[in-house]
Amino acid sequence: MEARKPVATTSPRARLVAEATRLGFEAVGFARADVPLTDDFARYERFVEAGMQGEMDWLASLPEARRRLDGEHILAGAKTVICLARRYGRIDDPPSPIARYARGRDYHNGMRKKLRKLAAFARAIGTETGVEVQARPLCDREPILERAWAARAGLGFVGKNGLLIVPGMGSFVLLGEVVTTLELPAEDIDPPMTERCGSCTRCLDACPTSAFAEPWILDPRRCIAYLTIEHRSAIPEEQRAGIGEHLFGCDDCQTVCPFNATKRANGALDPRFSPEPRWAALGSTEGLTSLLHLNEEDFLRLREGSPVGRATRVGLARNAAIVLGNRHDAGASSALQQISENHDAEIVRDAAHWALKRVM
């Protein structure tokens, strides 16, 4: 008669934490997935009602999925959400026109692989006890309010800039989740973490475009990250000067945050998050003008293994023209003149024409 495999005596929570740590996650928290969000969801509803999503229409879709995780859109019957974080940047990283999260290799595939492995591990825990457990890994694609769930899971708190801050690690963190039907005992669920910003307003004061309507309320339509990455139309003229030298995204509200100045927050990173030299090179006049002339073939090479492609070929050219204009870079006059007349996209011609007036 075949001997039965012994069931592990270590708690499911402890085993999940150990496995998540082995996979490279630096912070883990657990929350009830079958208790809908209330205050955070109400804030989301006000955000959509005000039209703050701009051209990001998907943010207004599937609101019920954003309110709860145990419905049909995410995972029917879910009981637990495992929230996870990994650091990707430091405030003392070298200057770059690219936001820190995009300076290394594209994190999406690596994160998803790790989350899939943790989801499989959760299913295996159920199998050991004769219970069928479902688990779904989430990373950026699904319509959930992940910062709100992370705060509920005790992973960190949402700062006045709307970003999750993990005490000791700061806010330069990538988030992921595993939603599962595995039910943990009440004592294994983490208490929510309340905010710890106090009277500090450094993040709000540092925003170059005054994108914060109030603490915890970011209006993306004025945010440099939105304007340079997600916005597909011409950037309003009154906002172009505030973009400064940001080509793709912005970290200004994070670099001033005291929680990002701790020793641990600036410790060694996974080498895959190390800044790639090609992005620093784009900060030069030559690098920026090369983006003005970018064709589809060159764009595909540039975006390989990087989230920078999210801005699109046309968006990067538009952004490069605005940066050159903000620099008053006379050395770019010839390239800007040519592009203002000949680029295939009107929004790039418009940005180049605007920049020309500032550099001549």
Active site residues: 140
Residues 89 and 98: beta-carbon distance below 8 Å: no
**CA angle in degrees (0–180, nearest 5) for 148-108-51:** 45
Q: Which run of H or E residues covers position 66?
A: helix 63-67
CB atoms within 10 A of CB 130: 7
Beta-strand ranges (E) seen in the chain are 27-32, 80-87, 135-138, 157-158, 164-165, 173-180, 212-214, 217-218
Which of 149, 128, 143, 110 lies closest to 29 in space, CA to CA? Answer: 149
Please state, in angstroms and rounded to a whole number, the distance separating the CA atoms of residues 359 and 233: 23
DSSP string across 289-338: HHHHT--HHHHHHHHTTSGGGGG-HHHHHHHHHHHHHHHT-GGGHHHHHH
DSSP string across 245-271: T-SB---HHHHT-GGGSSTGGGS---G
Residues 205 and 189: beta-carbon distance below 8 Å: no
CA 75 to each of CA 65, 159, 179: distance values in angstroms, whole numbers, following the listed order: 10, 28, 7
Question: Which tokens go with 317?
Answer: 């050219």
Burial class, 343, CB count within 10 angstroms (exposed 0-12 / middle 13-18 / buried 19+): buried
Tell me, what amino acid is at 347? I
Residues 341 and 333: beta-carbon distance below 8 Å: no
